[in-house]
Amino acid sequence: MRLRSAAVAAALLLGSAASGAQELVVSAAASLTNAFRAVGKSFEQARPGAKLSFNFAASGPLLAQIQQGAPVDVFASADQETMNRAASANLIVPSSRADFAANTLVLILPLASAQKPNQLSDLTGGGFQRISTGSPATVPVGRYTMEAIEKAGLTAALQSRWIYGESVRQVLNYVARGEVDAGFVYRTDALIEPEKTRIALTVPTTTPVTYPIALVAASKNAALANEFIAYVRSAPGQEILQRHGFSKP
């Protein structure tokens, strides 16, 4: 009986290890939430036995988690700057890094808003007392926004009006609930709440909005992680991303 119990325990341990080897943790920018859930489901169907766990947040906090030792296998950022910091800290495998999607910065308003801005300078008017974007220190959409605002010469004029969100999805929620007069998000995010928000302007950015993905250096499941990265870049993965509003990098 003792031998049989030991054999059963060993089998359970081996089964658990095998199961664990098929699990993948993907930390991805908040703007990828809907698209990556769909990509993940498709990947699991194409790769029987694989199990994906997603962690969605602003790119800056995700990088901080990886720096602190969070067990992450794949990192997908909404900007190059955050991924550059990951590379400088030797947190990713450089050869695995690749751009897989692009996006556009837009200005959105609550659907019920009567305001009709034709250019960024219109935001200095009385109808825009509370304007939201992501915190520039940690949220890529905030950095893209501030670059555009600076280029338009509006930094000082709008300085007191900013309401910063912890992610692009929080900015979207602020606008959807009418808690701010306008907000800067990605086009893909704006498409999620068509019954509560509307796109007022497409905002040119100095830095292109591109998304890099990479294998985390500390990953204990590099083979499966590389398979997922390849799937994101494959025709089926790209089709899903484009269905959610992303364009090719």
**Helix (H) or strand (E) run with residue 51 in it:** strand 51-57
Match 């910065």 to its residue by tokens. 105
Separation CA 152–CA 150 (nearest Å): 5
Q: Is 117 left (phi over 0), alpha (psi -120 to 50) or beta?
A: beta
Query: pLDDT tens, 9-49?
Result: 343 334 434 444 489 999 999 999 999 999 999 999 999 99
What pLDDT, on the 0 to 100 scale, is given for residue 22?
86
Sign of torsion, CA 153 155 161 166? positive
Name the average pLDDT for the chain. 92
Separation CA 108–CA 145 (nearest Å): 13
- Angstrom CA distances, 100 to 68, 157, 166, 238, 249, stand at 26, 36, 24, 8, 6
Six-digit token string for 104: 């556009």
What pLDDT, on the 0 to 100 scale, is given for residue 13?
38
Separation CA 160–CA 193 (nearest Å): 27
Other Cβ atoms within 10 Å of 207 Cβ, number: 14
225: nearest Cα among 88, 51, 32: 51
pTM of the model: 0.87
Query: pLDDT tens, 202-249?
Result: 999 999 999 999 999 999 999 999 999 999 999 999 999 999 999 999
Separation CA 47–CA 22 (nearest Å): 10
Band (4; pLDDT cuts 50, 70, 90): very low
Query: pLDDT tens, 61-114?
Result: 999 999 999 999 999 999 999 999 999 999 999 999 999 999 999 999 999 999
Across the range 118-130, mean pLDDT stands at: 97
- Please provide residue 114's backbone torsions phi and psi, each rounded to the nearest 5 degrees: -90, -5
133: nearest Cα among 149, 117, 151, 121: 149
- 186: β partners: 105
Work out the widest C-alpha separation in the chain, in whole angstroms: 81
Band (8; pLDDT cuts 50, 70, 90): very low
User: Side-chain half-sphere of 15: how many Cα atoms within 13 Å?
Assistant: 6
First to last CA, the chain: 60
Rounded (5°) CA angle 207-211-216: 125
Band (121; pLDDT cuts 50, 70, 90): very high
